Amino acid sequence: MSIKERTLVKAAWLARDRAHAPYSGFKVGAVIENDKGQMFTGCNVENANYTCGLCAERTAIVKAVSEGALKPGTLRKVVIAAKAERPAGPCGSCRQVIEEFAAEDTLIVLSNEPGKVAMSMPHRELLPHAFNGRDLADAPK
């Protein structure tokens, strides 16, 4: 694991510590990296009305977008930290949001133990045949 990847994994686990998960107890942290090497963290935030909760991955992406640091095609890496028997990948909604900002070579990194990478994969493996803005641009008017 490179120094940069070690830093990203550590940041994801620190974000996980800040998660608000009083209902499920399942804490998740995430960190994203843009094309300029900037990092943005996020954690899951649950709500008594479950539909109002927000996942760690989307929290990190929304933070970066709101700071003007993420545009479509500039997301380089997503690191997800969750303590689980098997690595926890992003939910379907997060996969779609990742697709919106991903570059061709965006990498997803999953960690289910502090300081360790359980697996990594290109984002396209998580959402093959993804629906995105190009589909809307090509649609008949």
Q: Is the pLDDT of residue 17 over 70?
A: yes
Residue 52 assigned as binding residue: no
Q: What structural domains and CATH numbers belong to the chain? A: 3-138 (3.40.140.10)
Confidence of residue 134 (pLDDT cuts 50, 70, 90): confident
Contact 27/53 with Cβ under 8 angstroms? no
Note whether 76 and 106 are within 8 A (CB). Answer: yes
What percentage of residues in the chain have a pLDDT greater than 90? 87
User: Is 49 one of the annotated binding-site residues?
Assistant: yes
Assess whether 85 carries a catalytic annotation.
no
Task: Tell me if 44 is assigned to a ligand binding site.
Answer: yes
The model's confidence at residue 139, banded by pLDDT at 50, 70 and 90, is: low
Please check the confidence at residue 54 and state whether its pLDDT lies above 80. Answer: yes
**Is 132 annotated as belonging to a binding site?**
no
- Give mean pLDDT, residues 65-94: 97
Q: Which of 33, 57, 85, 104 is catalytic?
A: 57
Give, rounded to a whole angstrom, the gap between the first and last alpha carbons of the chain: 48
pLDDT at 141: 63
Among the listed residues 64, 55, 78, the one whose alpha carbon sits nearest the alpha carbon of residue 127: 78
Mean pLDDT of 123-138: 84
Would the pLDDT of 135 be above 90?
Answer: no
